[in-house]
Amino acid sequence: MTYVGKSIPRNDGFDKATGLGIFTQDVALPNMLFGKVLRSPYAHAKVISIDTSAAEALPGVEAVCTFENTTNKPFNTSATMITTNPGAEPVRDQRVFTGEPLYIGDEIAAVAAVTEKIAEDAVKLIKVEYEVLPAVFDPLEAMKPEAPDVQPEFGCKEHKNVCGEIVEFGIGDIGKGFEEAEVIVEADIELPRVKQAQMETHGAVASYKANGTLEVYSPTQTPHPTKMILAYALDMPESKIHVQNPPYVGGGFGVRIGLSGKAEILAAVLSMKALKPVKIQYSREEDFLASDTRHGGYLHCRLGAKKDGTFVALDTTAWLNTGAYATFGVELLGVCGACGTAGTYRVPNMHYKGFPIYTHQQTAGAFRGFGTPQGTAVVEAAVDKMAQKLGMDLLELRKMNTTKPDDKNWFPFPVGSVAINECIDKAAEGIGWKEKRGKAQSGNIRRGVGIACGTHVSNAAPFCVDYDAVYLRIEQDGSLHIGTGIPEIGPGSTTALIQVACDLLGVPFDTAVMKFGDTAAAPFDIGSHATRTLYAVSQVIRDAAEKIRKDIFEYAADFMGVPADKLDMSEGIIFGEGKEYPLSRLAYEAHLRGKQFFAAECKVPPNSLPWYAQAAEVEVDMELGIVKVIKIVSAHDVGKVVNPRLCEGQIEGGVLQGVGYAVREEMTYVDGKGFYNKGFHKYMLPTADDRPEIVPIMIESNDPAGVMGIKGIGEVGLCATVPAVLSAVEDATGVRFDAVPLVPGRVIDGFKKAGLIK
């Protein structure tokens, strides 16, 4: 392998570092209008009347769209719309605009005008009379019989305000499991709603033309699914919608899947009315207010083991706040159970129940980890408790129970390579486990170390529709052009994939290019989500590369006088039986004869389990209640390292987001006013000061299902951070917190409750 394994600088680096990269907000089309949105000031209300005449009369206003004059077809803004497995029906509980807002921020109307200022003024001129209705905000409150209904049409029959259906599955016999158990522990965790806080706010430019075509630029991380949802919601043929990234995306983290934030469809309906391009660029406040967040809520876990530590029963329940609309509610509760609570350990009797609960709050959806951090937080807390109750070492208890390569567990695919115990060892070693864990601490500043581990997926197949397509072609000078619908949301996937493609084909990296983030560039591709991009797209590239190599060698055979099956290629040189022929020349000779080398492929990827363990070291100020994470050693079974620097970047970014989740970030709801956090001044992202020393460790287990052994890495950097930090804080202070973030108020309260301080 010439390129795989090397830290090749990312292709988009210069553009991004110098400010020359084009993002959605840079897109400017001739005659472009600017759109602004009128949002509900009430958490639950009914619009009694709406009068847009003053807005329409304002000079410069070219379109006013409301729930009254715009398609009322129900859809779902999430990719679940088009990824639900055959036979199942997605929950379609959203519309472009609503006359019965279900959260503070729900879309009532929108205006397009020749300037942003005029659009803003026009929005203020829309007169709306509301009837305010009762609302509920807490998921457990929402399940009570007396709670107001959020989505009466879409609730499950058995449970009040549960959207779609509850998620329940298991293996073995959970009752028998707990009967067999000799030791049983229980754990609870309460998790906040947190925000992706991606650098670029939501936005879109949509240009509808009278010939029935719609051109959309947006930072979507799923161009094809976004196109399909738009086509469904707007009743247009998919072929007539072209969705593309500009090509850069200022961060994804899940919030760019489907139509989260709705900017694309709002710009589209305005453009359809004005017959001009319309740009909508959200302010940070609007972005915080009206795009999906991570699911907060409550989890409970019961873990049973034999006295020797062997796990025999694991029962977990999750009650998560999905907000006003379902979006990924059901699916995320599934992943929470499947990846977050099951999978890490071999437990013969396992049961999981997940409640995706409607409330009158902003919608929760996809955010890096997608349920796994929530599930992992409660299960790892239970494992810690079990170790304490058994008097066993945290590391040993974990290692003896982790899933092994030959296990069946619950997975609908082979477990593949498993280096989780190596991850545990490396993480523990890196943090200085032996020297630091369990050392009595005293004084005001106390230190402790903790650990947690887990797994996730390398894509969403076979749990839902999840596949890729690619167009590969050799240009007439032998250079490589890859066409794909995946976006570059930041991790450097497009650079790493070119490395893989070049090694698979045997062509030089310098002459290869990937066209990405564009639905015209290749057939359907699910896009970037579920830790999949490098893992899954390398699969379809391999198929296409094999096809092209075969074609090249067959064509070269005549030119070289060497049988095709004796030929190979490296760095663009075809060779065999002592002869050499440059691909650049062959491609040109072929061109002169009307022959090209290309391949179009489509593939449902297999799946592989990325394993990981994180060890955290914290410093706790007992008096001020400040928890400072000072070091995280994050060890990952990545299968194969394609680009070490990019892979480390994924781990580092994930860890820092995990640290924010553990000790800083929280969206705080204020009844009657909505979420307090309307921007970065009111939402405590970790700053440089909060950044711990991060030690990324990459372990190559060479997964049998992955191309060259590759597994996913994108999401897993943060999945174990919360329990690792909670474990470390317990080590430092003796107090096990069952809620995050560990902000001073909560820490001081906990210390008071524990009697550590008065």
Q: Which residues bind a copy of itself (CB under 8 A)?
A: 11-15, 18, 20, 22, 26, 28-31, 82, 84-86, 209-213, 228, 231, 237-240, 242, 275-276, 461, 465-467, 469, 471, 473, 475-477, 479-481, 483, 510-513, 515, 518, 520-521, 523-524, 589, 591-596, 598-600, 602-604
Q: Please give the DSSP secondary-structure letter assigned to residue 26.
A: G
Nearer to a copy of itself, 513 or 626 (CB): 513
For a copy of itself, the closer of residues 16 and 436 by Cβ is 16
Q: Which is nearer to a copy of itself, 462 or 734 (CB)?
A: 462
> Which CB atom, from 64 or from 599, has the smaller least distance to a copy of itself?
599
By beta-carbon proximity to a copy of itself, the closer residue of 606 and 654 is 606
Considering just the CA atoms, what is the radius of gyration of the chain in Å? 27
Number of neighbouring beta carbons within 10 Å of residue 223? 31
Nearer to a copy of itself, 88 or 132 (CB): 88
Q: How far is the CB of 387 from a copy of itself (least distance, A)?
A: 42
Minimum CB separation of residue 477 from a copy of itself in Å reads 5
Q: What is the C-alpha to C-alpha distance for residues 643 and 491, in angstroms, rounded to an integer?
A: 11
Among all chains, which residue has been given the structure tokens 């129970």?
A: 401
Q: What is the largest CA-CA distance in the chain?
A: 88
| Buried b or exposed e, range 721-753, using 16+ CB within 10 angstroms | bbbbbbbbbbbbbebbbbbbbbbeebbbebbee
Residue nearer to a copy of itself on the CB measure, 592 or 688:
592
Inter-residue contact 161 to 136 (CB < 8 Å): yes
CB of 122 to a copy of itself, least distance (A): 23
Nearest to a copy of itself of 30, 755 (CB atom):
30
Q: Is the dihedral of CA 85, 364, 105, 141 positive or negative?
A: positive
112: its two tokens: 């397009």
Whole-angstrom Cα distance, residue 634 to residue 698?
A: 8
Sign of the alpha-carbon dihedral angle for 377, 382, 388, 392: negative
Secondary structure (DSSP) of 553-575: HHHHHHHHTS-GGG-EEETTEEE
Q: What's the closest the beta carbon of residue 478 comes to a copy of itself, in angstroms?
A: 8
> At closest approach, how far in Å is the CB of 283 from a copy of itself?
20
* Distance in Å, CB of 598 to a copy of itself, minimum: 5
Distance, CA of 143 to CA of 319 (rounded, Å): 10
Minimum Å gap between C-beta 516 and a copy of itself is 10
Separation CA 636–CA 643 (nearest Å): 14
In the numeric block, which tokens belong to residue 328?
A: 């990924």
User: Strand pairing partners for 162?
Assistant: 357
What single-letter amino acid sits at 343? G
Least distance (Å) from a copy of itself to the CB of residue 74? 17
Pick 170 or 225: Cβ nearer a copy of itself? 225
CB of 207 to a copy of itself, least distance (A): 9
Contact 222, 327 (CB under 8 A): no
